[in-house]
C-alpha cells in the first residue's frame, strides 16, 4: 500500500494536486472536506452539524470526522493505498489515523506539505469563489480558516517531522510544475520502500531454488535459515556441531538459535529492496517473532507465497536429491524426510490461516519445470508487490 497525506493551508492546492496524483496512482481518495460537503448536500444530521461550523471557518469536531472516515478505510482495506486530503487536521486526528491504519495492517508513507504564502492563498480562494461558489470562500471566513489552521493544524507538522515523514515542497508556480515536485517525492518514497516476502511450502517444493532466482533478478536478499544452519555445519562452529546432532536425531532446531542467526544476517545485509525469507517463519510463534523484528526496522511482511506441491511429488524430489552430491543431512533417510513432512503439515496450517486472514497469502502452483514455476512466481510476485505500493 502507498499511503500519502496532502498537507497544507486552505487554498494551497491539495485538492488540485490530489486529482492529478489519482490519475497516476490508483489510490483511494479521502477528502474530509468533500465527505462533509456531501453530507451537507444530503442534509444528514452530521451534515447539519458540520455546516454551521464550516460556514464560520471552524473545524468540525474530531469525533464527527473520524466517524465518517473510519468506514471508508475499513471498506477499502484492499485498496492500493490511500490519499488523504485535509486529514488529519489536528493532533488528535493524527494519532487516530495512525491507529486506523494499523488496524488494517498498513501505515503512512509520507506527508507532502504544500508551501504557499498567505497572500497567494487568499487570492486563489477568492478566485475560486467565482468559479465554485463554495460557502466558505469569502474574505471573513477565509481569515478564520487560516486562524484555525495556525492554531490546530500547524502543530501536526511536528508530529510528522518527529516521524521523519514530513516533506515540504514549494506550492507556487504552475500546477504541472508543482506536480513534478510531488512526483519526485513519491518516486523517492517508492524506491526507498522495502518489501519482504516469505516463501512457504513443503520440504522439496522448490522454495530455495525459486527464491534464489527471484531474489537475484529483483535485487532482494535471499535469507534461508536452512542454508545459514548448513553454513554453520560446514564451518564446524559450535552452533554447527550442535545443529548437526539435532539433524541426525530428527529434532528441530530451537527458536532461540534460529532467531539469532536471522537477526545477524539481517544486520549484515540491508542494502536491497527487501528480504525473501525461505524456511522461516515455519510456526506461528516464529511468525510473530519475525513481525516484531521487521517492525523494529520500520518494515513488515509484505506478502507470503505458498509454493504448493503435493506431498508425494516432494517426497520423490527429496529422495532423488539424496542420491546426489547436493544431498542434505536431513534428506538422508526416509524417516528424516517423513519427520520433516509431518512437522510441516502440523505447524504450517496456523501460519497459512494467519496470513490468509491478513490478506497476505498467495498460492503458486509449484508443479512444472523450473522455468515454468519461476515464470509464474515472477508474474504473481511482481503483480502483488505492485499492488502493495
Ligand atoms: P477542505 O475542503 O479540506 O478545505 P481547505 O483545507 O480549506 O482547503 P481547500 O479545499 O480550500 O483548498 P485546497 O488546498 O484543496 O486547494 P485547491 O486545490 O482547491 O475543508 C473545508 C472545511 O471542512 C474546513 O474548513 C473544516 O471546517 C471542515 N473540515 C474538513 N476536514 C476536516 C477535518 N479533518 N477536521 C475538521 N474539520 C474538517 O486550490 C484552491 C484554488 O486555487 C482552486 O481554485 C485552484 O484551481 C487554484 N489553484 C490550485 N493550484 C494552483 C496553482 N498552482 N496556481 C494558481 N492557482 C491554483
Ligand atoms: Mg480542497
Q: Write the pLDDT tens digit of every residue in 140-172.
A: 999 999 999 999 999 999 999 998 899 999 999
The pLDDT value recorded for residue 295 is: 79
Q: Is the CB of 66 under 6 A from ligand 1?
A: no
Look at 11-20, 119-128, 140-149, 183-192 and tell me which has the smallest mean pLDDT.
183-192
Please state the domain extents for the chain. Answer: 2-192, 196-388
CA of 62 to the centre of ligand 1 (A): 18
| Confidence (pLDDT) at 4 | 96
Distance between Cα 136 and ligand 1 center (Å): 10
Residues facing 221 on adjacent strands: 275
* Cα atoms found within 13 Å of the Cα of residue 233, Cβ hemisphere only: 16
Task: Give the CATH fold of the 2-192 domain.
Answer: Rossmann fold (3.40.50)
Q: If we measure between CA atoms, which residue out of 241, 88, 74 comes closest to residue 156?
A: 88
Residue 264: pLDDT band with limits 50, 70, 90:
very high
Q: The whole model's pTM is what?
A: 0.70
**Ligand 1 in reach of 53 Cβ (< 6 A):** yes
Report residue 102's pLDDT band, with 50, 70 and 90 as the boundaries. Answer: confident
39 C-beta closer than 6 A to ligand 1: no
Right CATH number for 196-388 from 3.40.50.300, 3.40.190.10, 1.10.540.10, 3.90.1150.10? 3.40.50.300
User: 299 versus 97: which is more confidently predicted?
Assistant: 97
389 pLDDT exceeds 70?
no
Grid coordinates representing 279 are 524456511
pLDDT at 63: 96
The protein residue whose alpha carbon is closest to atom 43 in ligand 1 is 128
Domains 2-192 and 196-388 share a fold: yes
H/E stretch holding 305 reads strand 303-308
Write the DSSP symbol of residue 252.
P
Amino acid at each position: 500500500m502507498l499511503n500519502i497525506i496532502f498537507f497544507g493551508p486552505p487554498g494551497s492546492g491539495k485538492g488540485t494536486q490530489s486529482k492529478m496524483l489519482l490519475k497516476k496512482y490508483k489510490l483511494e481518495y479521502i477528502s474530509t472536506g468533500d465527505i462533509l460537503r456531501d453530507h451537507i448536500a444530503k442534509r444528514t444530521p452530521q451534515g447539519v452539524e458540520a455546516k454551521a461550523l464550516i460556514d464560520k471557518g471552524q473545524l468540525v469536531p474530531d469525533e464527527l470526522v473520524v466517524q465518517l472516515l473510519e468506514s471508508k478505510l475499513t471498506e477499502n482495506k484492499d485498496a492500493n493505498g490511500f490519499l488523504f486530503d485535509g486529514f488529519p487536521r489536528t493532533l488528535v486526528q493524527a494519532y487516530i489515523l495512525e491507529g486506523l491504519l494499523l488496524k488494517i495492517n498498513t501505515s503512512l508513507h509520507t506527508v507532502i506539505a504544500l508551501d504557499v504564502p498567505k497572500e497567494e492563498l487568499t487570492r486563489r480562494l477568492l478566485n475560486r469563489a467565482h468559479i465554485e461558489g463554495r460557502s466558505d470562500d469569502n474574505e471573513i471566513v477565509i481569515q478564520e480558516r487560516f486562524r484555525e489552521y495556525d492554531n490546530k493544524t500547524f502543530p501536526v507538522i511536528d508530529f510528522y517531522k518527529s516521524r521523519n515523514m514530513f516533506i515540504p515542497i514549494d506550492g507556487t508556480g504552475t500546477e504541472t510544475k508543482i506536480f513534478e515536485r510531488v512526483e519526485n517525492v513519491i518516486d523517492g518514497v517508492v524506491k526507498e520502500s522495502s518489501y519482504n516476502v516469505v516463501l512457504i511450502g513443503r520440504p522439496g517444493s522448490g522454495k530455495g531454488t525459486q527464491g534464489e532466482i527471484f531474489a537475484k533478478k529483483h535485487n532482494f536478499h535471499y535469507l534461508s535459515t536452512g542454508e545459514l544452519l548448513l553454513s554453520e555445519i560446514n564451518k564446524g562452529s559450535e552452533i554447527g556441531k550442535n545443529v548437526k546432532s539435532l539433524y541426525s536425531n530428527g529434532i528441530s532446531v530451537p527458536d532461540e538459535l534460529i532467531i539469532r542467526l536471522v537477526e545477524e544476517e539481517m544486520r549484515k545485509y540491508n542494502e536491497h529492496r527487501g528480504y525473501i525469507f525461505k524456511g522461516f517463519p515455519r510456526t506461528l510463534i516464529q511468525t510473530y517473532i519475525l513481525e516484531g523484528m521487521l517492525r523494529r526496522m520500520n518494515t513488515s511482511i509484505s506478502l507470503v507465497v505458498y509454493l504448493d506441491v503435493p506431498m508425494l511429488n516432494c517426497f520423490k524430489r527429496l529422495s532423488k536429491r539424496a542420491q546426489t552430491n547436493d544431498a542434505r543431512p536431513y534428506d538422508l533417510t526416509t524417516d528424516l524426510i517423513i519427520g520433516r513432512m509431518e512437522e510441516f503439515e502440523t505447524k504450517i496450517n496456523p501460519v497459512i490461516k494467519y496470513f490468509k486472514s491478513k490478506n497476505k497469502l498467495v498460492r503458486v502452483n509449484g508443479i512444472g519445470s523450473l522455468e515454468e514455476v519461476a515464470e509464474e512466481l515472477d508474474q504473481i510476485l511482481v503483480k502483488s508487490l505492485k499492488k502493495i505500493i
